[in-house]
């Protein structure tokens, strides 16, 4: 799709969804006044993350005291069916996060309430739901629809029907979704952040999510190498995070003291 066609389609998508007007306003302001601030501190953070990075398996062992079993092995039937659904999906979306880390974080905390931002195909949702269903917990997810691709209907496409009873999906930008989610759950066991990757968006969401994460809960953020938001947030709050080297990017994780 040409750039002009994509931008026009996205704009038309926004105009058809009045509930997304606040996000449209923020995007316009960001593009005019703050084009480069999304990547603030990127170089410093990449040095910091590279120095402390461990593998996903090492992180799971260190934080949760468990030997990670590959997700595809542990949930072979569900996984194969989800791969098949991703392949048949006509809309192309963002890739999966660190599934074993998310699943084990839910197991470690005996999670009943998980909040995630960024769903796309729904791989991270699947990982959380497979743990939550064991104890009747709920996953609260926030995802902006894929306006440029008519992708709204495909958000969470790889999640099997039978797991959806444990799932509440809020289809707004985080700044609108999260207040609605906090209206339904006050004490969160696991946070998985994987949506807006700009510095200000990450900082804003972290500052909303962290106070609501219970003591002993697990906080995971994907793509912490885009800017220094995760590093700055951890330093400001005296948090010693674990950094996971995952498929060419870094994921940040910590257990709240």
Ligand X SMILES: C[S@@+](CC[C@H](N)C(=O)[O-])C[C@H]1O[C@@H](n2cnc3c(N)ncnc32)[C@H](O)[C@@H]1O
> What is the longest distance spanned by two Cα atoms in the chain?
50
Q: How far apart are CA 131 and CA 138, in angstroms?
A: 10
CB of residue 69 to ligand X, shortest distance in Å:
18
Nearest to 202 by CA among 223, 181, 185, 172: 223
Nearer to ligand X, 123 or 167 (CB): 123
Q: Which helix (H) or strand (E) element contains residue 233?
A: helix 229-236
- With contacts defined by CB under 6 A, how many residues of the chain interact with ligand X? 22
Q: How far apart are CA 9 and CA 1, in angstroms?
A: 10
DSSP class of residue 91 equals: S
Among 124, 138, 166, 228, binds ligand X (CB under 6 A): 124
DSSP class of residue 214 equals: E
Residues 130-149 that bind ligand X (CB under 6 A): 142-144, 146
Residue 108 within binding range of ligand X, rule CB under 6 A: no
Nearer to ligand X, 52 or 180 (CB): 180
Burial of 182 (0-12, 13-18, 19+ CB in 10 A): middle
Residue 218 within binding range of ligand X, rule CB under 6 A: no
Nearer to ligand X, 179 or 216 (CB): 179
Residue 118 within binding range of ligand X, rule CB under 6 A: yes
Stretch of residues binding ligand X (CB under 6 A), selected from 60-68, 132-140, 182-190, 191-199:
191-199
Nearer to ligand X, 101 or 213 (CB): 101
């Amino acid at each position: 799709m040409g750039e002009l066609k994509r931008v026009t389609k996205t704009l038309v998508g926004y105009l058809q969804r009045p509930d997304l007007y606040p996000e449209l306003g923020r995007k316009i302001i960001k593009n005019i006044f703050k084009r480069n601030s999304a990547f603030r501190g990127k170089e410093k953070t990449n040095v910091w993350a590279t120095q402390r990075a461990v593998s996903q398996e090492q992180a799971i062992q260190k934080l949760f005291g468990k030997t990670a079993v590959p997700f595809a092995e542990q949930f072979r039937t569900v996984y194969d069916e989800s791969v098949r659904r991703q392949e048949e999906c006509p809309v192309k979306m963002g890739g999966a996060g660190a599934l074993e880390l998310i699943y084990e974080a839910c197991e470690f905390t005996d999670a009943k309430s998980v909040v995630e931002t960024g769903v796309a195909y729904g791989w991270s949702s699947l990982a959380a739901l497979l743990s939550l269903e064991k104890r009747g917990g709920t996953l609260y997810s926030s995802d902006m629809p894929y306006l440029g691709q008519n992708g709204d209907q495909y958000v969470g496409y790889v999640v099997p029907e039978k797991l959806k009873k444990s799932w509440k999906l809020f289809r707004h930008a985080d700044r609108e979704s999260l207040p609605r989610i906090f209206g339904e759950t006050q004490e969160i066991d696991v946070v998985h952040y994987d949506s807006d990757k700009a510095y200000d968006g990450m900082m804003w969401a972290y500052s909303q999510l962290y106070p609501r994460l219970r003591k002993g809960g697990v906080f995971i953020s994907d793509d912490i190498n885009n800017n220094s938001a995760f590093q700055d947030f951890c330093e400001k709050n005296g948090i010693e995070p674990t950094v996971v080297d995952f498929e060419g990017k870094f994921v940040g994780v910590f257990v709240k003291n």
